[in-house]
Copies of this chain bind each other. A is one copy, B any other.
């Protein structure tokens, strides 16, 4: 496989944009990535478009990507529409990465775009529920928040964490997103504000849960040495892994699928947790951030809630987590989130993250990791994607 780099990223701000359709959300992200990559539209050979819910939200199935590429003036190229719930954009990125690494294309576009505010909240919730099996769980009243709450209760029981500890994730992430002009939520929150916000599903309060959003993010994926023609700051994709969840016997306490997937990504990259300077993870609910840090080997099980108190996961800490603000702060337009993680990592590695820039030994960081999970199949996540980036 060939070496592959991200040479440009772009975003449409995440938030509530009821007047915009999918095309209008995707356009600035795509043109932003193209401009950032210093390429022309004509150099894009293929587009991988991640979107999770347009079929239910707007009725546009089948060719959602082509409606977007045509709107952007990209005709004739290969277009592949991919879905994987909250991991749709990461799946688009991975498919683009594989095709470029294989030598099928030199320049490919990966896009994640989602529109959730459609003026019909019931329809939005129906769409979100279809991230689980509608014949087994979704139509029985299943809600993702409930699953996260059960896991949070389990974490509290096992390790002694409290709601205040989960609130600290929100405090950190809202502080980070207050410095991110693409973020949906720009107001820094206090522990008291988080804990006292409306209860959603015990122990989770409103501010501990990621919210509905519209938005888009895009990246230009390029082979080497071609990437060197366009940029002096390529960001290499060193490891990429994708798995669906697997059956696990909790009595035997095996490694979680997140642990297995990240271990495989480390092996592909030839890098481990100690080599990674910062991470973007899938904080769909605040407690998940602790699980992710622990499952991926950045700290021992049951310790993340203690380490956050010491500032370990702050932008200025030893392992910044979600410098973008994460899903809770930046927002979570489901099918766009994975590529927003990519954008944040690229900006951080290039030293362009403005008020939230990570500095290590006087320099921008060298290696970042993104974990994006999506949906639910039976007893585990439906998709888990891990990517490791290096400048």
Q: Which residues of A contact B (CB under 8 A)?
A: 1, 21, 23, 46, 52-56, 58-64, 66-67, 69-70, 75-85, 88, 91, 95, 98-99, 101-104, 126-127, 130-136, 242-247, 257, 260, 374-378, 380, 382-383
Question: What 8 additional pairs, Cβ within 8 angstroms, besides A76-B257, A80-B242?
Answer: A60-B135, A62-B130, A63-B133, A66-B245, A70-B244, A76-B247, A81-B91, A98-B99
The chain B residue with its CB closest to the CB of A100 is B102
**A78 and B91 alpha carbons, distance in the complex (Å):** 10
Do A80 and B84 have beta carbons less than 8 Å apart? yes
Q: Assess whether A91 is in contact with B80, with CB atoms less than 8 Å apart.
A: yes
| Copy total for this chain | 2
B59 contacts A126, C-beta separation under 8 Å: yes
A98 touches B104 (CB 8 A): yes
| Cα(A234)–Cα(B85), bound, Å | 35
Do the beta carbons of A58 and B134 come within 8 Å of each other?
yes
Whole-angstrom distance from the CB of A164 to the nearest CB of chain B? Answer: 34
CA–CA, A23 and B59, complex, Å: 22
Do B134 and A75 touch (CB < 8 A)?
no
User: Is the CB–CB distance between A63 and B80 below 8 Å?
Assistant: no
Contacts of A70 in B (CB 8 A): 133, 244, 377-378
Known contacts: A1-B103, A63-B84, A84-B81. The answer to whether A244 contacts B52 by CB under 8 A is no
| A63→B85 contact, CB < 8 A | yes
Asked whether, in the complex, the Cβ of B66 is within 8 Å of the Cβ of A375, the reply is yes
Q: Are A243 and B77 in contact (CB under 8 A)?
A: yes
**Distance between A52 CB and nearest chain B CB, rounded to angstroms:** 5
Q: Known contacts being A61-B130, A382-B66, is A21 close to B242, with CB within 8 Å?
A: no
CB distance from A258 to the nearest CB of B (A): 12
